[in-house]
Amino acid sequence: MTWLTNLPAWARWAGAAALGMLLLTIVQSVSGTELLTEEGTAQAMVRWSIPILLAGLGGLYSERAGIVNIGLEGMMILGTWFGAWGALNWGPWGGLLAGLVGGALGGLLHAIATVSFGVDQIISGVAINILAPGLTRYLSERVFSGEAGGSVSQSPRVDGFDSFTVPGLADGLGTIRDQDIFWISDMAGFARGLVAEMSFFTLFGLLMVPLSGWLLWKTKVGLRLRICGENPIAGESLGVNIYGHKYLGVIISGALSGLAGAFIVLELAGLYRGGQTTGRGFIGLAALVFGNWRAIGVLAGSLLFSYPFGLSLVDFNAESSGEATRAVLLVIAIALVGVAVWAFRANKRNDVILAGLIAAIALIWYLSTDTAASWLPNTMPYALVLIVLFFASQRLRGPRTAGLPYRKGET
Amino acid sequence: MAPAIELIGITKRFPGVIANDNINLTVEEGEVHAICGENGAGKSTLMKILYGMQPADEGVMKVFGEEVTFGSPNDAIDRGIGMVHQHLMLADQMSVIENVILGSEPTKGGGIIDFDAAKAHLAEVGSAYGLTVDPDDMIDTLEIGERQRVEIIKVLYRGAKVLILDEPTAVLVPQEVEELFNNLRELKADGATIIFIDHKLQEVLEISDSITVIRRGKTIATVKASDVTAGDLAELMVGEELPSPATGDSTVTTDVALEVNGLTVLDDDERAVVDDVSLKVHRGEILGIAGIEGNGQSELINAIVGTWSANSGNVRMAGKDITTASVRDRREAGLGYVPQDRHREGLLLDAPLWENAALGHQTGAPYSKGFWIDRASSRDHTGTIRSEFDVRSPNVDVSARALSGGNQQKLIIGREMTAHPDVLIAAHPTRGIDVGAQADVWNQIRAARAEGLATLLISADLDELIGLSDTIVVMYHGKLVATLDPSEIDPRTLGSYMTGAALSDASATDPGPSELSGDPS
């Protein structure tokens, strides 16, 4: 199996995605739904994954700099309000920029508290999560409530970005999809969903993945930022400005969370509304852990966690009422049987029992119903996060000193 | 030619102590210069000053003849001085090359690291000094000796001509020490100047050209390694002082109160820090353990007290096996403990004295009644400790922080003694306290000894060890290497045992197998 670990990260994730598609295709053929690998599902998944992705990348910068940022959610909330406000005044690009700045201000607050004053990182993060909704409500009352369609908890409607379809590629994938070849056509159709009618903001979010990976692992500032999370004392002994790089990491973290908020406003909701982030900042943190504190891993985690939600958007409507979501239960059952077999071979008894148990529950559930309950898709991402982290977290390794206070000159 | 490093009259004061007192040091270019001294003698402070980590209060530093002042390590690096820290400064989850270039990364412009150029330079430095590492290895896959090599390369990569190595052999096994020495010889042959801090005399004599001995913050002497023996160095390091705290007549009985058999404790790297140690302490006996700090004494007492678990061997109290017993069970069975760091382990500094007195005895009278803490009785009993052990404080409700070090220590001694333990583990009981309090502590230990207390005494104060102990064992590299009679030994000889110097001497002249056995009984 060493050839597997020698593959580059993107190739391993691509392989995993192809296997996942195979699983979906097989389940689809036995449970009489076509939505699992639908183009629309893929499109919805990508769109809904961007806020999680941006928050997760935000967490990446912060934790790599040694600061746990549980305040991603609060910074995202700041991003939603500022995004709406910016978009009302200057259009979509204004919204994007204002959201970025709003989140970055939240990051700056977290950095001042944790880096300069040594406040416990969890406490500061929770404080920001509590502060942000209050602040945005106050600002809404001052700014939005006078305007048409605006109120203390809501902004007037705002315009989003134009969307575009990648020419050539989308047509090519469409042709393969229409050939109706098992697995291959399903993959092509699904992939077409990723490149068709994509918004500029979505593209912008996806581009953050290679950009972040490059910045953190190939540049001077990235290396210095990462030493803050691994061994700041070693960095200090070589003259690295630890405080400065920690500030940088946390502020970028806030800026990306703010972008996530702006995305929700501009692309998903079309307006600012109190409470619209619905815990995506925390799912972003989960994606960060799932992705082993790597940019591409965060992307994989975000897509995985937003799949059930994207599916539900096409699955709960006039023609369909949850057959496809029900089929996901079978996917989970099969995947967990796979985990159980792997755990059995690795001699991990507890994991075998746990995976087997959840697989059994999912299978029984699948067999005893015809359609999924409508609350299931909303719950599934969270349940999925828990299940994945149960089994994955043992072999994950985050930055060594993330969460620990650091004072210059103390060894 | 100007010397590589010249320090003139360096003085550094910390609150209450003078760490460096008018130190003079001259290191010639191209030599290996060792700096020797006991722990706390001021070696590390001096090196921190030379590396720009701390400013000196007084004195002049010259590097290759030029007078310098360093505000940060960067200034020292710019002058060609590099330091290999005792605790390696490496990020375990990064690659060798990332660790090496950090802080002075070659770039292609735009802040993009030029890894090819970095690797080329690394290979160049490596081959110039005969040090090889794979730049893409992750640090956590490397052996400790290889990691140290990365540290040395890290320093050379920055163009250092003077290398400071702070106790580099402390973490190495003998083969790795040999390899390190070969590397150092090669560095020297290529023109590097090396300052080598150590207190292991055999190693110092083997590797260095010149040796400067520091004692209590002062430079005692600078000698040529070829002109001295380990015994001479030991004398210089330890100095000659008169023992004072004599215990008087022996009260040693034949009842074994504490027995340790074949105890082995492994550290995180699976190395034996306590290596097959066996000892017996009888009722009425004080057994002293001598040794330079870091030779396994802390781990030994932790294993006896129960805060660390032993990997093999057993500990018995009055014949009963307590090897796997919890700390509380051990204490309730009559084990008293005076920890070596009273602030970290001995006291809750912000809690009142009576709560501190109850610590470790909180499960029974006089501090508690059933489930509840008995405040009245606790205060009352603490008042008794206060008067009997002369703990000077206004009342028993002030916080422990308000007390001087000596009074804090007397409170701890009182807390342990009033519980009437059968066995007392006393680690550095008089460290950092004034002379008066010191005499009080000695008196208390002596009085308890007369009543049949078995005491295991660990101390860096050789006079204290020789004066109080009925028997002294020497701990070196985790092993008990010698058993000595305190009435026949002076601090100088004891010091040479502790540094390992006398071991080879003794085995050559006067081996006496009984004297080298690990069992003092």
- Cis, peptide link before residue B135, omega less than 30° from 0: no
| pLDDT of A181 | 81
Nearest to B91 among A220, A227, A411 (CB): A227
In CATH terms, the fold of domain B247-334+421-430+450-521 is Rossmann fold (3.40.50)
Instruction: Tell whether A408 lies on the interface with B, counting CB pairs under 8 A.
Output: no
* Contact: B94, A239; criterion CB under 8 Å: no
In 3-state terms, what secondary structure has residue A49? helix
Instruction: Tell whether A241 lies on the interface with B, counting CB pairs under 8 A.
Output: no
State which residue of chain B sits closest to A399, comparing Cα positions: B93
| pLDDT of B6 | 92
Q: What are the DSSP calls for A59-73, one per residue?
A: HHHHHHTT---TTHH
Q: Which of A221, A230, A292 should we substitute to test contact with B (largest number of B Cβ atoms within 10 Å)?
A: A230
Task: Residue A400: list chain B partners with CB under 8 A.
Answer: 91-93
Instruction: Tell whether A245 lies on the interface with B, counting CB pairs under 8 A.
Output: no
User: Which of A:359-398 have CB within 8 Å of B?
Assistant: 397
Q: State the 10-residue block means of pLDDT for chain A, 411 residues long.
A: 72 86 86 81 90 97 96 97 95 95 97 94 96 95 87 88 81 82 82 82 93 95 95 88 95 97 94 91 91 92 89 78 85 90 85 91 89 80 81 78 79 49
Question: Please, which pLDDT band fits residue B337 given cuts at 50, 70 and 90?
Answer: very high
Task: Tell me the backbone φ, ψ of residue B245, rounded to 5 degrees.
Answer: -85, 75
Mean pLDDT of B298-304: 91
Q: What are the DSSP calls for B304-352, one per residue?
A: HHTSS--SEEEEEETTEE-TT--HHHHHHTTEEEE-S-IIIII--TTSB
Query: Are A227 and A240 in contact, with CB atoms under 8 Å apart?
Result: yes
Cα–Cα distance measured from residue B161 to residue B32, given in angstroms and rounded to the nearest whole number: 12
Domain boundaries, chain B: 5-238, 247-334+421-430+450-521, 340-418
Q: Which of A6, A221, A223 should we substitute to test contact with B (largest number of B Cβ atoms within 10 Å)?
A: A223
In CATH terms, the fold of domain B5-238 is Rossmann fold (3.40.50)
Residue tagged 């220590």 (tokens): B409
Identical fold for domains B5-238 and B247-334+421-430+450-521, yes or no, is: yes
CATH of A40-315, one of 3.40.1800, 1.10.3470, 2.60.40, 3.30.70: 1.10.3470
Cα–Cα distance measured from residue A393 to residue A290, given in angstroms and rounded to the nearest whole number: 7
Question: Please, which pLDDT band fits residue B511 given cuts at 50, 70 and 90?
Answer: very low
| pLDDT of B218 | 85
Least-confidence region, from A391-395, B32-36, B86-90, B497-501 = A391-395
Instruction: Tell whether A294 lies on the interface with B, counting CB pairs under 8 A.
Output: no
| pLDDT of B116 | 93
Instruction: Tell whether A254 lies on the interface with B, counting CB pairs under 8 A.
Output: no
pLDDT tens digits, B159-175: 889 999 988 887 676 67
Q: For residue A301, what is the enclosing H or E element? A: helix A295-315
| pLDDT of B391 | 86
* Contact: A240, B111; criterion CB under 8 Å: no
Cα–Cα distance measured from residue B466 to residue B247, given in angstroms and rounded to the nearest whole number: 10
Instruction: Tell whether B93 lies on the interface with A, counting CB pairs under 8 A.
Output: yes
* Contact: A221, B93; criterion CB under 8 Å: no
Query: Are B12 and B57 in contact, with CB atoms under 8 Å apart?
Result: yes
In 3-state terms, what secondary structure has residue A41? helix
| pLDDT of B370 | 85
Question: Please, which pLDDT band fits residue B519 given cuts at 50, 70 and 90?
Answer: very low
Instruction: Tell whether A227 lies on the interface with B, counting CB pairs under 8 A.
Output: yes
| pLDDT of A409 | 63
* Contact: A234, B107; criterion CB under 8 Å: no
Which amino acid is present at B375?
R
Nearest to B89 among A220, A224, A234 (CB): A234
State which residue of chain B sits closest to A228, comparing Cα positions: B91
Give which of B40, B70, B66, B36 is closest to B56, Cα–Cα.
Answer: B70
Look at strands B58-63 and B5-14 and give their pairing.
antiparallel
Task: Residue B90: list chain A partners with CB under 8 A.
Answer: 231, 234
Give which of A390, A160, A339 is closest to A263, Cα–Cα.
Answer: A160
Question: Please, which pLDDT band fits residue B512 given cuts at 50, 70 and 90?
Answer: very low
User: What is the rounded radius of gyration, in angstroms, for the C-alpha atoms of chain B?
Assistant: 26
Q: Which of B102, B105, B151 should we substitute to test contact with A (largest number of A Cβ atoms within 10 Å)?
A: B102
Mean pLDDT of B82-111: 89
- Please give, rounded to a whole number of angstroms, the shortest distance from the CA of B235 to a CA of chain A: 33
Mean pLDDT of B48-72: 89
